[in-house]
Amino acid sequence: MSDYFDRVERQIVRRVETGVPRPRRLPSPFGHLGLVAAVLVVILVAGVSLLARSPSQTSSTAPTTGAHGVSVWFATPGPVAAATKARTTQILRARLHQAVPGAQVSWAGGRIDVRVTNPRRGARAEILALSAPGRLEFYDWEASVIAPNGNTVASLLQAHDPPAIVMSQGSGTAAPGDPGLGSLSLARARQLAAKEPASTRVTLVQAARQGAAGSAAQFYVLRGAPALSGASITDPRPSAIAGGTAVSFRFTAAGSRGFRALTAAIARRGARVSSVGQTLNQHFAIVLDNHLIDVPYVDYKQYPDGISDQDGAELIGGFPKQSAKDIAILLRYGPLPVNLTATG
C-alpha cells in the first residue's frame, strides 16, 4: 500500500490524468467500526487522486505563476445567481485559508480569481485540488444500478439472471463497479438514462477502475437519489498514527441512522436472494464527483441488522501528511454549489 500512497501524492502534484488504481478491501480489525473504517479509507484514498484529475479542473490553459505569485482563474458552466456566487466564494476561501496561506479569492468579471502573492511550494497544486466539487454520495448498489436491459440489478437477482449476478458479485478478475461488468460507453449510458421517466433522478457514474491509458471510459447508470451524502459526515480531521497520518471523523446523528438503515436494507436483501450453496452478499456504492470509488459488501450473516458506528471511524492507511490534511479540508467545508473550471 505504501507505493500506492506515493503514487497518489505524485498525482496531486503533477495532475496526472490516468485511471485510479482500485484499492482492495481491507481486513476488519475493529469489529463494526473496522468495516466502516476499511470502507471509508477506500473513499478517501481514491478521492485524493480524483481531486487531481477532476474533469471540472481540466483545461488547455494552465494556471500561471508570475514573478510575484500564483494566479488561477476559474469559470463556471453558466450564469450564477448572487447567492450562489457568495456561497461558492465562501467555501473556496475557507478551504484555501486552511491550506494556502495568503490566498485571496474574489469573484469578478464572471469568474473566480485566486491569487497568492508569496506562494510556498505546491500552492498551485493545492488550489487546483481544493477547487474540486467535493460531492460525496452513498448508494444502495444493487437497488440503484441499472442493467443494460433497463431493470435494476436488485429486481433481477431472485430470478438468478446471469448478467445481474455478475454486476452484483463481480467476476474472477474484477469487482462490482469495475469496467466490463455491465458498464457502458458514455453514449450508451446516456441512451439508457434517456429511457427513464423525466421525473426520475438518473446519475451517470464513471466505473471504479478504468482500462489501459487511452481506452474509453466506462459508465454505470444509477436510478434514484443517494441514500447518504457528504453532509452525513462531521468533524473530519487528520490524526497522527504510527507510520503515517489518518483521517478521523464522526457521522452526524442523521448520518449514523441513515448508514445503519442503508446497510440493514442491504443485509436483508442479501439474506433474501441467497440460497443454500450460494451467498450473494449485497453492496453499497461510494461515489465522489460522479466517479465510482468502490462497491463494498455487507456480510448479511455478520451484520443482519446493519452496521453501527457509535464511536465514529478512523481511516487507517498511512496517508502522506499533506494528503490527509487536504482530505479533511475538502470534507469539512462541504461541496461547492457549482463546478469550477481552471481557465488560466
Give the pLDDT confidence score for residue 325 in this predicted structure.
80
What are phi and psi for residue 111, nearest 5 degrees? -145, 165
Low-confidence ranges of the chain (pLDDT < 70): 1-68, 211-214, 246-247, 309-319, 344
What's residue 223's pLDDT?
Answer: 98
The C-alpha cell that represents 320 in the structure block: 502522506
Q: What is the pLDDT of residue 313?
A: 55
Q: What is the pLDDT of residue 297?
A: 93
Give the DSSP letter of residue 272.
H
Domains and CATH numbers, the chain: 2-57+134-342 (3.30.1360.200)
The confidence score (pLDDT) of residue 153 equals 98
Q: What integer pLDDT is reported at residue 64 of this predicted model?
A: 52
pTM for the whole structure: 0.76
- CA–chain centroid gap for 45, Å, is 9
Helix axes 321-333, 32-53, angle to 10 degrees: 90
- For 24, 42, 45, 63, 288, the CA distances from 327, given in Å and listed in that order, are 20, 12, 9, 22, 12
C-alpha cell at 319: 496517508
Q: What digits encode the pLDDT tens for the residues 214-237?
A: 678 999 999 999 999 989 988 888
CA distance 164 to 234: 35
Which pLDDT score, from 0 to 100, does residue 122 have?
Answer: 87
- Alpha-carbon span 157 to 142, nearest angstrom: 9
